[in-house]
Amino acid sequence: MFRSIGGLALGDFRDRVRRPVYAVTLLAAVILGYLAVPDPQARLVIMNIGGYRGVYDSAYVGTATALAAALWLTLGGFYVVRGAIERDERTGVGRLVAATPLRTPAYLAAKFLSNTMVLGSMVAVLAATAAVMQFARAEDRAIDPVALLTPFVVIALPMAVATAAAALLFETLPLLRGGLGNAGWFFVWLAVAVGSLSERAPFDVLGARHVVEALRAAMVEQGLWKRHSSFSLGLTEEPEPLKSFPWDGFPLTAAFLGGRALLVVAALAVVLLPALWFGRFDPARGTLRPTPQQAAEPGLPPAPAYRGLPATAPAYGNTFGRLLAGELTVIVREATRWWWLGAAILAVVGLAVPSGSVAAVALPLAWVWPVLLWSRLGTRHQSDGMEGLIGAYPAPHRRLLAEWTAGLAVTVLPGLAPLLRMAASGDAPGMAAWLGGALLIPSLALAAGILTRTPRLFQALYPALWYCAFNGLAPLDFMGAVRDGGVPAGPHPLAVAALAGLLLGLTLLTTTVRGAAWTTRRA
């Protein structure tokens, strides 16, 4: 059985690493490794403790890079490895595997192993980058492999394992296997990974708190720790470059190692749990939509004899309205009754909240609800297998503009109640910001969809952007939610509209370039 698991996982891993996107993910890992060990004079840092950092020796460089990996690979890596089961379903490989004696837990274990190998390879690249960065920064060029690599093994790898397991779990749950899972992961990550940095969190998921304790102890010993010193992990811009202090690394206590082992054991349990409900690619079980080949032929009357070609001659005219209606029909049919119910509740909320909460609460809530509908802009032809068919149709730009307009309609509709409230209270700057946001959202969604041909980028990007705006980060407030003296504090609406135009232009340009050059890898 172990041979089967290993063989399947290796095959899956090979398939993934041969895709061009894998090189991009490794490049991202290198960039993350570079950012984790910034220039001593840099103010953009990933880790900061009370305005200090450790001297760039193996212990500190390894720890800082491993923590950066634990934090950011957990977020980005989830989207990288997601799709292992979906790909088997789409390509039909799943049905072939399902017909073999391989048992469901073994299949899931193989997919998990493949996910872990992909994330593990990114961790390995980060570790290699850390060694290069230590040498390049030249504060201590003596590379101690144990001190450098230990943090990757005990901090980054357990998080990679947990992420691999979470991605698999999400794929097996009908509710989370689609866009909802993609968008929802951002909030799971926020609560579990970022939340665990808090001293009140029940479990040190990242392992960062143990590291902070060791850093703090060294600083106290060296008289550097102040009462209000704090720790930050992420990506922050500091007012001045960090000062350095010597640090020997964190101790490998039994409690810490036990916690890391517990995380891995929990991940393994999460992997095997779906065996209870995983449908093994049987459309009769679960919620898989049957492919056309699987669909039963509904009863149709016998074909009459051929009586000749259609008599009506085609006539031509302006069709933008009908294209728009078609795009809207596709979107509306995708929205479930629950979606409409939620939209209706949000409209009531928008009309009922106090005027001070319209821009800060009602509008952001209204403009996160359609995230899954927006995310499919620019990707539907691809995901529905229509690219080869629609590629031979004229005027691709007209179709694209119709799709963008349909996306705009999906933005305007839930945002109407807050807009009416702003109009009623004479909040002209808020209405202008609303307009900028309404133009930006479908443009961003369409650009992300057209460029990547998958809804995943927008599903990962938009919740993060939205969260920043909702939490008062003015420079990223594209909708006028953050107020300063009652006036939107974010970018000027014209700047937001210009960005929307730029993104739409980029989308049209991409379509033009692809235009007749839609090449397929199939020979």
Partner 1 sequence: MLELIDVTKVYRGGKRAVDTMTMRLGPGMLGLLGPNGAGKSSLMRIAATITRPTSGKVLFDGVDVVARPDALRRHLGYLPQDFGAHPNLTAREFLSYLAAAKGMSARSSKARIGELLELVNLTEAAKRPLGGYSGGMLRRVGIAQALLADPRVIIVDEPTAGLDPQERVRFRTMLADLAADRVVMLSTHIVSDIESVASDIAVVAGGRLLRRGTPDELLHMARGRVWDLLVSPAEADAVRMGYVVSRMVRTAEGVRLRVISDAPPSPGAVPAAPDLEDVYLGLVQPAPAPSRAMGGLR
Q: Give the nearest distance from C-beta 185 to partner 1 in angstroms.
A: 25
Q: Of residues 101, 223, 310, 426, which one binds partner 1 by CB under 8 A?
A: 310
Question: With CB under 8 A as the contact rule, which of the stretches 81-89, 221-229, 318-326, 459-467 interacts with partner 1?
Answer: 318-326
CA distance 122 to 120: 5
The secondary structure of residue 368, as a DSSP letter, is T
Query: Is residue 338 at the binding interface for partner 1, with CB under 8 A as the rule?
Result: no
CA nearest neighbour of 374 among 338, 412, 342, 430 = 412
Give the one residue of 101, 202, 239, 317 binding partner 1; rule: CB under 8 A: 317
CB of 307 to partner 1, least distance (A): 8
Interacting span for partner 1 (CB under 8 A) from 222-230, 385-393, 450-458, 500-508: 385-393
Locate 361 and state its tokens: 């609460």
Across the chain, which distance is largest between two alpha carbons, in Å? 96
Q: Is 240 in the site for partner 1 (CB under 8 A)?
A: no
Q: Distance between the two ends of the chain, CA-based, in angstroms?
A: 36
Stretch that binds partner 1, among 4-12, 36-44, 393-401, 440-448 (CB under 8 A): 393-401
Residue 326: exposure state from Cβ atoms within 10 A (0-12, 13-18, ≥19): middle
Residue 517 binding partner 1, by CB under 8 A: yes
Place of tokens 């089967």: 4
**CA-based radius of gyration for the chain:** 26
CA separation for the pair 431, 480 (Å, rounded): 8
State yes or no: residue 516 binds partner 1 (CB under 8 A).
Answer: yes
Please tell me whether residue 92 binds partner 1 under the rule CB under 8 A: no
Decide if residue 309 touches partner 1 (CB under 8 A): yes
| Shortest distance, position 215 Cβ to partner 1, whole Å | 48
Q: Name the nearest CA neighbour of 163 among 278, 279, 84, 59.
A: 84
Cβ of residue 66: shortest distance to partner 1, in angstroms? 36
**Choice from 86, 238, 248, 334 touching partner 1 (CB under 8 A):** 334
254-293 footprint of partner 1 as x/- string (CB under 8 A) = -----------------------------------x--xx
Closest CB to partner 1 among residues 200, 522? 522
Choosing from 41, 198, 312, 336, the residue that interacts with partner 1 (CB under 8 A) is: 312
Residue 354 contacts partner 1 per CB under 8 A? no
Question: Among residue numbers 8 through 37, which ones bind partner 1 (CB under 8 A)?
Answer: none
Q: What distance in Å separates the CA atoms of residue 480 and residue 445, rounded to the nearest whole number?
A: 19
Neighbouring residues of 401: CB distance < 8 A, sequence distance ≥ 6: 320
Min separation Cβ 324 and partner 1, Å:
9
Ordered alpha helix ranges (H), 353-455: 355-357, 363-366, 371-375, 380-383, 387-390, 396-424, 428-452
The three-point CA angle 389-448-359 to 5° equals 130
Binding flag, residue 319, partner 1 (CB under 8 A): yes
Query: Who contacts 298 (Cβ-Cβ below 8 Å, separation ≥6)?
Result: none
Contact call for residue 518 and partner 1 (CB under 8 A): yes
Cβ nearer to partner 1, comparing 138 with 313: 313
Cα 495 from Cα 419, distance rounded (Å): 20
Strand, helix or coil for residue 80: helix
The residue range among 29-37, 174-182, 324-332, 351-359 that interacts with partner 1, by the rule CB under 8 A, is 324-332
The binder of partner 1 chosen from 386, 413, 495, 502 (CB under 8 A):
386
Are the C-beta atoms of 449 and 390 separated by less than 8 Å? Answer: no
Give the footprint of partner 1 on this chain (CB under 8 A): 289, 292-293, 295-298, 300-306, 308-317, 319, 322-323, 326, 329-330, 333-334, 380, 384-386, 388-395, 398-399, 515-523
